[in-house]
Amino acid sequence: MKRAEIIAVGTELLLGQIANTNAQFIAKHLSALGYHHHFQTVVGDNSERLKSALEIASSRSDLIILTGGLGPTKDDLTKEVVAEFVQESLVYHEQSLEYIEQYFIKVNRPMTENNKKQALVIHNAHVLLNKNGMAPGMVYEVKNKQFVLLPGPPKEMIPMVEKELIPYFLKGKEASTIISKELKFFGIGESILETEILDLLENQSNPTIAPLASEGEVMLRVTASASNQQEAEKLIGQAEEKIRERVGQFIYGTNNENLFTVLSSKLKDFKLTISAAESLTGGLFSKRLTDIPGNSSIFKGSVVCYSNEIKQNLLNVPADILNKNGAVSAECAKSLVENIQRLTGSNISISFTGEAGPSTLEDVPVGKVFIGIKIGDSDSIVKEFQFSGTREQIRLSSVKNGANLLIKLINSSFESQDL
C-alpha cells in the first residue's frame, strides 16, 4: 500500500486564524483511495521552508498533496516551489486563463496582472479544473511520486477533490472499485448509536463502517471495495440492511441529503407549500430552505417576527398572550403558526419562539424553545424543547428539530393516503 501525506501551506494556519479542515477532509478520502496516511504538515508562505517540507515529505511518501498558495498574490508560491523542486517550468493553461479573463469581463472589473499568474501550471502536469474559483489544481507525476496541488479555500478545494481528483485517481483502475454511502441520522447521539452497532463497527472490514458527528447530527459512512461497482454496492446494501434493522428509525436520508433537502423533496412529492414565523431563529429556517435552488414552488415565504411589535401587528398574536404568557410560550408558538398559515395561505406552517441566549431577557432559561406546526386543517401542535450550547447551536438545533418534526408529520399525514 502506498503512503500519502498532506502539506497545508498558509501563514494563516500558523497564526491560528483557521483550523486545518482541508487536511481533515482529504484525510477522509485517502484510505478510501487505498493509501496509508502517516503525516500531515503545515508550513507558512515561505519558499525555503516549503521546500524543506517537500524534501522531507518526498523522502517518506509516494503521494504528496499540497493545499493552498495557488492564489494571485506574492505570498502564493506553492506551484513555484513545487515546479522548482521537480525541475519543471510554469506554463499558462489556456482554458484557465480564458476563464479568468471572462470572469473579469463579466464582473466588469479590470484584470490586474497578478491575476494572470493564477493560470500558470507546472509543465507536464495534469490540470484539475477549478469550477469554483480561478486557480486550477494539478497532479504532477515523476518516477513513483505524485504531487497534487489544490487551492486553499475549502469551497474550491472540496469540489475539486470530489469531481476532478478522485475520478482522475480512479480512472483506468479496474482493480478495486471503492464506493461509499453515508447514512444520515437525527435524534440519536454518536455514543448511543455506536453502542447499538458496536459489533458491526468492530467486526466489519469490508465494508468499513465509520461514525462521524457534526452540527448535532451523526452519520455512518459505509465504504466497500470490490472488483466492480455492482459487487461493492451489494456489500454496502447488506451492511445497510443490518444497520437499518437496529437504528433505522433515526435515519432520515443518505449521502448528500440533509434535513432541508429531504423536507423539500417531501413537500414537492405531495405538492405542498410551506411558510414560517421565525422569532429566535431570525430567518435561519427560511435561509436553510432557500439555500436549496428550485424551492420557489414549495416555499411561499416567512415573517421574521423578532420584536413583539411584529408578532402583534403583522402576525396578530393577541397582546394578552404576549403580556401573560410571554413571547416564549406554547400559546405564542400556536398563535404564530396559525396566523402565518392564514396570512400566506400555505398548506403547512411552522413557528419558532424561544431564548437563544447567551443571556436571557425575561427569566426564560436559555435554550428553551417552542416549535409550532400546523398541517392543513388539522389542529396545530406545539412541542417544547430545552436545548444547550452556544447561541448558534441553539438556533441550529431549533431549525433542525423543526425540519425533522415536519418530515415525520408529513410522512404520517400524507404517505398512507397518497402513495
Residue ranges of E strands in 287-397 = 299-304, 348-354, 368-375, 381-386
Q: Which is nearer to a second copy, 251 or 284 (CB)?
A: 284
Binding of a second copy by 256 (CB under 8 A): no
Q: In the bound complex, what is the minimum distance in angstroms from residue 377's beta carbon to a second copy?
A: 20
Site for a second copy in 383-402 (CB under 8 A): 386-392
Q: Closest Cα to residue 140, out of 94, 97, 92, 82?
A: 82
Q: Which is nearer to a second copy, 125 or 224 (CB)?
A: 224
As a whole number of angstroms, the distance between CA 109 and CA 133 comes to: 16
**Judged by CB under 8 A, how many residues of this single chain contact a second copy?**
108
One residue of 214, 323, 416, 417 binding a second copy per CB under 8 A: 214
Site map 112..141 versus a second copy, x via CB under 8 A: x-xx----------------x---------
333 C-beta neighbours (distance < 10 Å), count: 31
Q: Per CB under 8 A, which region of 135-143, 195-203, 238-246, 247-255 contacts a second copy?
A: 195-203
Peptide bond into 211 cis (omega under 30): no
Given the C-alpha cell 406546526, which residue does it identify?
373
Binding of a second copy by 158 (CB under 8 A): no
Contact assessment for residue 366 and residue 359, using Cβ atoms and an 8 Å cutoff: yes
Peptide bond into 365 cis (omega under 30): no
Q: Per CB under 8 A, which region of 87-95, 212-220, 229-237, 245-253 contacts a second copy?
A: 212-220
Query: For the stretch 388-402, what's the b/e string if a residue is b when 16 or more beta carbons lie within 10 angstroms of its beta carbon?
Result: eeeeebbbbbbbbbb
Question: How many degrees, rounded to 5, is the angle at CA 298 between CA 297 and CA 299?
Answer: 105
Q: Which is nearer to a second copy, 81 or 125 (CB)?
A: 81
Q: Per CB under 8 A, which region of 307-315, 329-337, 369-377, 401-409 contacts a second copy?
A: 307-315
Q: Which is nearer to a second copy, 69 or 125 (CB)?
A: 69
Binding of a second copy by 261 (CB under 8 A): no
Q: Per CB under 8 A, which region of 25-33, 121-129, 161-169, 318-326 contacts a second copy?
A: 25-33
As a whole number of angstroms, the distance between CA 266 and CA 260 comes to: 10
One residue of 2, 47, 73, 176 binding a second copy per CB under 8 A: 73
Please report, as a single letter, which amino acid is at residue 178.
Answer: I
Please report, as a single letter, which amino acid is at residue 40.
Answer: Q
Binding of a second copy by 237 (CB under 8 A): no
The CB-side HSE value for 401 (13 A sphere, CA atoms) comes to 23
One residue of 98, 199, 291, 320 binding a second copy per CB under 8 A: 291
Q: In the bound complex, what is the minimum distance in angstroms from residue 416's beta carbon to a second copy?
A: 29
Contact assessment for residue 217 and residue 163, using Cβ atoms and an 8 Å cutoff: no
> Which residues fall within 8 angstroms of residue 74, CB to CB, at 6 or more apart?
114
One residue of 56, 330, 364, 381 binding a second copy per CB under 8 A: 56
Q: Per CB under 8 A, which region of 81-89, 234-242, 243-251, 289-297 contacts a second copy?
A: 289-297
One residue of 199, 309, 320, 384 binding a second copy per CB under 8 A: 309
As a whole number of angstroms, the distance between CA 328 and CA 263 comes to: 26
Q: Which is nearer to a second copy, 199 or 415 (CB)?
A: 199
Given the C-alpha cell 432541508, which residue does it identify?
260
Binding of a second copy by 417 (CB under 8 A): no
Binding of a second copy by 359 (CB under 8 A): yes
Binding of a second copy by 233 (CB under 8 A): no
Q: In the bound complex, what is the minimum distance in angstroms from residue 211's beta carbon to a second copy?
A: 7
> Which residues fall within 8 angstroms of residue 339, CB to CB, at 6 or more apart?
277, 315, 316, 317
